Amino acid sequence: MNASSSDILTQGLTVKLEADLDKNFGETIAREAHGEKLFGCIQCGNCSAACPLSVWMDYTPRKVIAMVRAGFKQEVLSNRTVWLCASCYQCTVECPKGIKITDVMYALKREAIENKVYPKNFPVPILARTFFNEVKRTGRINEIFLLTIYYLRYNIFKMLGYASLGMKLFMKRRLSLFEKGMSDKKEFKAMLNQ
Amino acid sequence: MPINDEARVGFYICHCGHNIANMVDVTSVAEYAAKLPNVVLSRDYKYMCSDPGQEMILKDAEVFKLNRIVVASCSPLLHENTFRNATAKAGINQFYFQMVNIRENASWVHEDKELATVKAKDLVRAAISRVVFHKALEKKKVPVNPDVLIVGGGISGISAALNIANAGKKVYLVEKDPTIGGYMAKFDKTFPTLDCAACILTPKMSAVLKHPGITLMSYSEVAAVEGYVGNYQVKVTRKPRYIIEEKCVGCFACIDACIFKEAKFSDEFNEGLSKRKPVYIPFPQATPQVVLIDDKTCIHFKTGKCPQSCAKACDRNAFDFDQKPVTQELEVGTILLCTGFQPFDAARAPYYGYGRYPNVYTSLEVERLVNASGPTGGNVVLRDKTRPKSIGIIHCVGSRDEKTNKWCSRVCCMYSLKLAHLLKEHTDAEIYNFYIDMRTPGKGYEEFYDKLLNEGVHFIRGRVAEVSDWAINEHEKGKLVIRAEDTLIGMVRRIPVDMVVLAVGIEPGKDAQDIRRVFNISCSNEGFFLERHPKLAPVETFTDGIFIAGACQGPKDIPDSVAQAGAAAAQALALIDSGFVELEPNTAFINEELCCGCQVCINLCPYHAITFDETKSVSHINEAICKGCGTCVAACGSGAITQNLFEDQQILSEIYGLLVE
Amino acid sequence: MKYLYYPGCSLKSSGKLYEISLLAVLKRLGVEVEELENWNCCGATNYMSINESYAIEITARNLAIAERMVGIEMIVPCAACFMGFLKTQKYMESDPVTREKVNDLLNKAGLSYTGKVKIRHPLDVLVNHLGTDALAKTAEMPLKGIKVASYYGCQLIRPYATFDDQWNPHTMDDIARAMGATPVDWPLKSRCCSGSMTSTMTGIGLRMNYVILKEAKSRGADVIITACPLCQFNLECFQGKISRKLKEDVRIPVMYFTQLMGLAMGIPAKQLGLKQMLSPSLVLT
Ligand SMILES: Cc1cc2nc3c(=O)[nH]c(=O)nc-3n(C[C@H](O)[C@H](O)[C@H](O)COP(=O)(O)OP(=O)(O)OC[C@H]3O[C@@H](n4cnc5c(N)ncnc54)[C@H](O)[C@@H]3O)c2cc1C
Ligand code: SF4
Ligand code: SF4
Ligand code: SF4
Ligand code: SF4
């Protein structure tokens, strides 16, 4: 038997066993995304067609909803669809069943980060995490710092690609290294550290 | 608890299968009731409404010398009459009966069995304390006027009118438009058999006109309705056509002669796809065959300066520019509402570009385009007169959507298939149907879908997100691009087409709420007329003597509309043939000794049932008009008014029973 | 009338030109603004993906401070902040659990929010409060013959905003018209610019901006105007790179709508930050 025919036996199978599903996944995500409506999805695909990014997704948003509902936790969390969602809310305003798909995507992002199962070295969660820490630290965002830290973590070579743009903006005095932060961070931090 | 020594109450609680027994502990309620004062006997039973259930009441009454009956079960709307009849058969006056609804009021609406049982006991106690003070009453019989009013002259109204008139009864058919026919008159063919709509409809339209038993009142509306089942008084307003209907023979000489050489005004019948003159007839087979003048566009009415060439051309002197609305009074015994639907307004779905891109059409417009007697004589061309080479039909526009209408409109899948077939036949274009779920539940319907699948029409399962003129390649340039996910494949598709057809859904008629008020019936949440029971009384309403049929009751195709019209006609005929109706004796009456003659009640009565007797200086209620609303009873400062079935003692002991264990 | 003003982080850094032109225009129109004291970041989209409660809580803090201050109508120019505020308000209004939790936290920090602050986007204030007639009167140098493609992006008009038509937004077009320019009708008005994806998934981000730039150009627009710092940044700063990479010239002036207004009002280019642009400058005829 050659290698490829044994691959075919084990990889990319189109079967899912009940035992491998996470039956509570749908409920969890529905709760996280403010509503049980996702169980009312009629699989019409309007969300997928409305989505400006679905063409690059591995599962269309409609499919993600179906998989969440059915408990395909592993597949949903490790695919790149949720990380491609730009939160443009087009799907949400078009869904005929009033499902807040964007909120479902957010809930899945949080779930993926919590479970540490997002695609490895995928840039979107890294930026999100960097952003989050920055705000926690300073209360505001300075985009230069933000991007620098992000590229340091993600891919320092990529940064070079942006260096000339950064330089141009800097020369035009559209980026500054030092921005006024919050005048008083005590009470802000107190709130976040609860 | 109030006691009446003479009362011997028999109490029955029904399981209603599991409907009640699952959430209310019926045995415990029966045991509880057995201990209440005046209760001689208490039983629970699986189905009280069944024959054995009713028999039980009969036997018990004899053996235990019962003289009051209380049944705790479902809604009085459903079975009050059943049990009243059983009570009467047992030799007890039927008003010595009281019903307790522990299904809709307890078992169906609660989730805690213990509490639901407590509530059931409370309700039962209230009924038992009330029933002991009931009085023996008799129902009043009044004759039924055999004449029938039918409102709406679509296929439903037409069918019902012919059914009833053929049974020898007199029918008044009131239609608000200048012609009868409804939406069906606009179609070329009808699914699933593709028979020509005109061929099957126009003979019926002219049968209506010619039938000696039918008085057709077109271009008319019902302004007011008074009375009650068997005896309604109806005011009908006839709008001015400015043509004397009896004189016009439909030669159309006036239309040719109109000072407007070119037709200039949007033609409603053709969905605005063609123009008409101020003097016009909706379509050549309009019934009645009488022209009319639209006073909003006619020069005479706008400026008074028209030479009236139309009137001069008429050799029958049919014109009367001074016509005013006329109100006519009718007396009928039963009423059928067949007022139909309105199509969803496609502009409410802005993402499909209706009104923005000229080549986006509604299905109704396309019905006219494919119609041999339509604006283009059946030649399917776009607004720029070119023939479309590719066409997208979008299902569920304004249906199954929380933002617009939640319901499935039931007919659009089928008529979309029909239009796909007709468009293919007329243009040989590539045709794409975008559907969410294909709904073809009807005789021969799935077979029709099969036929289409094999005719080369494309089917894409996906709700269209957008129609736009955004082209991303040469192929899409100058086209309308439809974006949808092909959900069966899992890929988004962009399909450029020349023409888009929006399968608009079915909505309650524009004036459904006004009609509801005039006829004192109810509407469901969506706004369609509410039937008395969704399964068992689909054409009756909660107002006796008023029936509904066709699309005014909910989305429906022609076969179902005609079937309902037949059912409504049969109901009306049954009522007429029974000869009389029984009226609830729940009317109010005035104790002349106590009445101080203040006349407060007179103005309050919504039915004008109260008059003042000058000689005795007291008010008097006309029992035949009183509806038992109770307004005057509550308003009378002297406490002179009593209402049967709602006497103070009855109500107070009911309240006492409810509150005090 | 005086408004509170929440600039948000972007308007203090990459969206600087939005801030200066907005303030210049408002001043010219006699609208007074006062910056919210000691404000914090709104959390934007990134925050929602890590911890939703935090995102809501820190926005609620801004609302609480606003409620304490004089005006209770607050101008929020950044589309992401604007949406974040509306979302927070919506959640606090409709979800008692969130409301209680957030108020608890606020109380501990000595703050409280009762739901009184009205969030308004500058477009809303200009079109629905001042009115286009009043705006037209200030156009000293009407932009005759200039074709403007208004680009609304996403979060400015959906899912919560109600000041404009979600499906066919027009407030920016109204303003352009009031300034004497000619709005062009185009289908990508509210198609997403990819947000921060230009930095994370570069290929996709650039592609999405490409289609927008290309379509605006092919519809004959002389300039694209925006009302969001991220949209403006993406469309303006990456257009050179896009043109080079895809070997197609999609360069076109991309301005904040406030810069365009300023031009028509005769405010000196320098005060509008026009000298600091990277995209070609709008040629006035
Ligand atoms: C595009 C389209 C295509 C369709 N094609 C088919 C098909 O091929 N086959 C099929 O079986 N079904 C088809 N249908 C469904 C069909 O139209 C309905 O089933 C049918 O019209 C229902 O008849 P109706 O008499 O109940 O209502 P309508 O046709 O709506 O008639 C109602 C009548 O009542 C009148 N009216 C309304 N209000 C008042 C009032 N207040 N006073 C007096 N008169 C009033 C109206 O003027 C009208 O004449 C189609 C529907 C659409 C939208
Ligand atoms: S648009 Fe809504 S109903 Fe349709 S597939 Fe997407 S989530 Fe489901
Ligand atoms: S919110 Fe996300 S999933 Fe929805 S349309 Fe926008 S990018 Fe796509
Ligand atoms: S009065 Fe004049 S405008 Fe009116 S219908 Fe007759 S000819 Fe035409
Ligand atoms: S009949 Fe078909 S097209 Fe019409 S609403 Fe129902 S599913 Fe949609």
Given this model, what pLDDT does residue A159 score?
Answer: 63
Q: Measured between alpha carbons, how far is B309 from B319 in angstroms, rounded to an integer? A: 11
Nearest to B84 by CA among B584, B609, B462: B584
Q: Which residues pair with B100 in a beta bridge?
A: B72
Helix (H, G, I), strand (E, B) or coil at C171: helix
Q: Which of residues 106-135 of A touch C (CB under 8 A)?
A: 106-107, 109-110, 113, 123-129, 131-132, 135
- The verdict on the CB of residue B396 being under 6 Å from ligand 5 is yes
Instruction: Give long-range contacts, CB 8 A cutoff, 24+ apart: B580-584.
Output: B580/B141, B580/B142, B580/B143, B580/B144, B580/B230, B581/B141, B581/B142, B581/B144, B581/B229, B581/B230, B581/B544, B581/B545, B582/B139, B582/B140, B582/B141, B583/B139, B583/B140, B583/B141, B583/B142, B583/B228, B584/B139, B584/B628, B584/B645
Instruction: Tell me if chain A has a CB within 8 Å of the CB of B468.
Output: no
Given this model, what pLDDT does residue C45 score?
Answer: 63
Ligand 1 binding pocket (C-beta < 6 A) is B 151-157, 174-177, 182-184, 187, 190-191, 221, 338-341, 343, 363-364, 367, 411, 415, 418, 509, 511, 515, 550-551, 556-559, 561
**What is the Å distance from ligand 4's center to B286 Cα?**
20
Average pLDDT of chain A is 83
- Is residue C71's pLDDT more than 80? no
CB-CB contact of B13 with B30 (8 Å) = yes
**What is the Å distance from ligand 3's center to A86 Cα?**
6
- Torsion from C-alpha of B622, B625, B628, B629, nearest 10 degrees: -110
Closest-CA distance, B350 to chain A, in angstroms, reads 11
Count Cα neighbours of A135 within 13 Å in the Cβ-side half-sphere: 27
**What is the Å distance from ligand 5's center to A65 Cα?**
22
With an 8 Å Cβ cutoff, the interface of chain C facing chain B consists of 165, 167-168, 186-188, 211, 215
Among A60, A62, A96, the residue with its CB nearest the CB of B400 is A96
CATH level 3 topology of C138-284: Rossmann fold (3.40.50)
CATH level 3 topology of C2-122: Glutathione S-transferase Yfyf (Class Pi); Chain A, domain 2 (1.20.1050)
**Nearest CA owner, ligand 1 atom 51:** B411
Closest-CA distance, A53 to chain C, in angstroms, reads 8
The structural domains of chain A, ordered by start, are: 15-115 (1.10.1060.10), 123-192 (no CATH)
For residue B439, give the ligand 5 atom closest to its CA. Answer: 2
Name the stretches of chain B with pLDDT < 50.
none
φ/ψ (deg, to 5) at C278: -100, -25
Residues of chain A neighbouring C280 (CB-CB closer than 8 A): none
Q: What is the value of ipTM here, to two decimals?
A: 0.91
Report the Cα A35 to chain-centroid distance in Å: 19
C241: buried, middle or exposed (CB in 10 Å: 19+, 13-18, 0-12)?
A: middle
Given this model, what pLDDT does residue A1 score?
Answer: 47
Given this model, what pLDDT does residue A5 score?
Answer: 65
- The verdict on the CB of residue B400 being under 6 Å from ligand 5 is yes
Q: Count CB pairs under 8 A between chains A and C.
A: 164
For residue A92, give the ligand 3 atom closest to its CA. Answer: 4
Report the Cα C41 to chain-centroid distance in Å: 16
CB-CB contact of B497 with B388 (8 Å) = yes
Instruction: Tell me if chain B has a CB within 8 Å of the CB of A92.
Output: no
The residue in chain C having the minimum alpha-carbon distance to the alpha carbon of residue A105 is C49
pLDDT in tens, C241-276: 999 999 999 999 999 999 999 999 999 999 999 988
Given this model, what pLDDT does residue A85 score?
Answer: 93
**Nearest CA owner, ligand 3 atom 4:** A91
pLDDT in tens, A81-120: 998 999 999 999 999 999 999 999 999 988 988 888 877 6
- Taking the complete model, does pTM exceed 0.90, yes or no? no
Lowest mean pLDDT among B249-258, C66-75, C181-190: C66-75
CB-CB contact of C208 with C194 (8 Å) = yes
- Cα-Cα-Cα-Cα dihedral sign, residues B64, B68, B71, B76: positive
Peptide bond between residue B559 and the one before it cis (omega within 30 degrees of 0): no
Average pLDDT of chain C is 92
**Nearest CA owner, ligand 4 atom 1:** B308
The structural domains of chain B, ordered by start, are: 9-137 (3.40.50), 139-187+194-239+325-340+520-580 (3.50.50.60), 253-313 (no CATH), 343-507 (3.50.50.60), 584-644 (3.30.70.20)
Band the pLDDT of A122: cuts 50, 70, 90.
Answer: confident
Instruction: Tell me if chain A has a CB within 8 Å of the CB of B486.
Output: yes
Given this model, what pLDDT does residue B608 score?
Answer: 84
**What is the Å distance from ligand 2's center to A50 Cα?**
10
Count Cα neighbours of B524 within 13 Å in the Cβ-side half-sphere: 18
Among A42, A62, A98, the residue with its CB nearest the CB of B485 is A62
Chains that contact A by 3+ CB pairs under 8 Å? Answer: B, C
**Nearest CA owner, ligand 5 atom 4:** B412
- Is residue A138's pLDDT more than 80? no
**Interchain CB distance below 8 Å, A88 and C154:** yes
* Mean pLDDT to the nearest integer, C5-22: 92
| Annotated domain spans of chain C | 2-122, 138-284
Residues of chain A neighbouring B396 (CB-CB closer than 8 A): 96
A-interface mutation test, from B406, B485, B494, most A Cβ less than 10 A away: B485
**Residue the block writes with tokens 């988004």:** B492
Structure tokens at B329: 């009074």
Residue whose CB lies within 8 A of the most ligand 2 atoms, among A37, A57, A62, A100, for a mutation test: A62
